[in-house]
């Protein structure tokens, strides 16, 4: 049975793809047969080397072609749901899930990345949380480091639990170098204390990102052993 994680966030533009790709690369380096999926994407062509799908494929080494890794792609830089509507395209939840189920068995472990936050609409009547529930992988929640992230993270956790979704942990991404603010120092403890969900790592902000730097950063700052243990314990 294929194991895996569904990666979501407390918001958009918080580095979900960088963290997901870095985890994929780090797991690959450990000898894990890892696959990646970005079911819906907008704002870039999947063939663009800088697209989310291309970065996930590059770091994971997934041999599936890009339109399998990312079956639904829209050029317009708006949410995938709105982009699809503006093109007169309707993608059902069942259709999206079938696209993943068709390739689920090609790898032992899968990282599936949503688009935007947990409640971001992906189609008529469904959002990322519904996709995660159908795929039935536990969540990793990517959060910002600064003021306000405790509220956003706890709300995401509460909503996920109300939907019956298992949560493997939280990863805080984009910690800047230098003296850290009081919120940045205390947020991990507050998140864990109020939710009972472990913070599995605090990933620093990276300039001039390369695959090697990204993988090394994940290896140094994310507790991958605990992540895998949390996933198997669900």
CATH number, domain containing residue 161: 3.40.50.300
Q: Is 142 left (phi over 0), alpha (psi -120 to 50) or beta?
A: beta
Say how far apart CA 172 and CA 183 lie, in whole Å.
Answer: 12
Say how far apart CA 138 and CA 160 lie, in whole Å.
Answer: 10
pLDDT in tens, 60-109: 999 999 999 999 999 999 999 999 999 999 999 999 999 999 999 999 99
Q: How many structural domains are present in the chain?
A: 1
Please say if the pLDDT value at position 234 is more than 70: no
Helix (H, G, I), strand (E, B) or coil at 234: coil
Q: Averaged over 204-224, what is the pLDDT? A: 94
The pTM of the full predicted model, rounded to 2 decimals, is 0.95
Structure confidence at residue 134 as a pLDDT band (50, 70, 90)? very high
Q: Based on the residue annotation, tell me whether 38 is a catalytic residue of this protein.
A: yes
Cα dihedral 229, 173, 107, 138 in deg (nearest 10): 50
pLDDT in tens, 3-60: 999 999 999 889 999 999 999 999 999 999 999 999 999 999 999 999 999 999 999 9
Q: Please give the residue range of the domain that contains residue 216.
A: 3-233
Helix (H, G, I), strand (E, B) or coil at 75: coil
> Catalytic pick from 38, 57, 85, 159?
38
pLDDT, position 18: 96
The set of residues, in sequence order, having a beta carbon less than 8 Å from that of 56 and lying 6+ positions away, is 17, 20, 21, 24, 36, 37, 38, 62, 69, 111, 113
């Amino acid at each position: 049975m294929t194991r895996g994680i569904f990666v979501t966030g407390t918001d958009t533009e918080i580095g979900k793809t960088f963290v997901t790709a870095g985890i994929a690369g780090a797991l690959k380096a450990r000898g894990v047969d890892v696959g990646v999926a970005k079911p819906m994407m907008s704002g870039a062509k999947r063939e663009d080397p800088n697209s989310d799908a291309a970065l996930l494929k590059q770091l994971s080494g997934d041999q599936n072609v890009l339109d399998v890794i990312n079956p639904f792609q829209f050029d317009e830089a708006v949410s995938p749901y709105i982009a699809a509507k503006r093109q007169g395209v309707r993608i059902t939840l069942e259709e999206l899930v079938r696209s993943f189920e068709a390739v689920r068995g090609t790898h032992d472990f899968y990282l599936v990345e949503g688009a935007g936050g947990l409640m971001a609409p992906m189609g008529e009547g469904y959002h990322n949380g519904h996709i995660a529930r159908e795929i039935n992988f536990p969540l990793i929640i990517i959060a910002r480091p600064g003021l306000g992230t405790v509220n956003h993270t706890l709300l995401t956790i509460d909503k996920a639990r109300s939907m019956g979704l298992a949560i493997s942990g939280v990863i805080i991404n984009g910690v800047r170098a230098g003296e850290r603010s009081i919120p940045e120092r205390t947020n991990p403890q507050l998140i864990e204390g109020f939710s009972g969900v472990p913070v599995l790592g605090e990933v620093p902000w990276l300039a001039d990102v390369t695959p090697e730097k990204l993988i090394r950063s994940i290896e140094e700052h994310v507790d991958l052993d605990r992540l895998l243990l949390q996933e198997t314990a669900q």
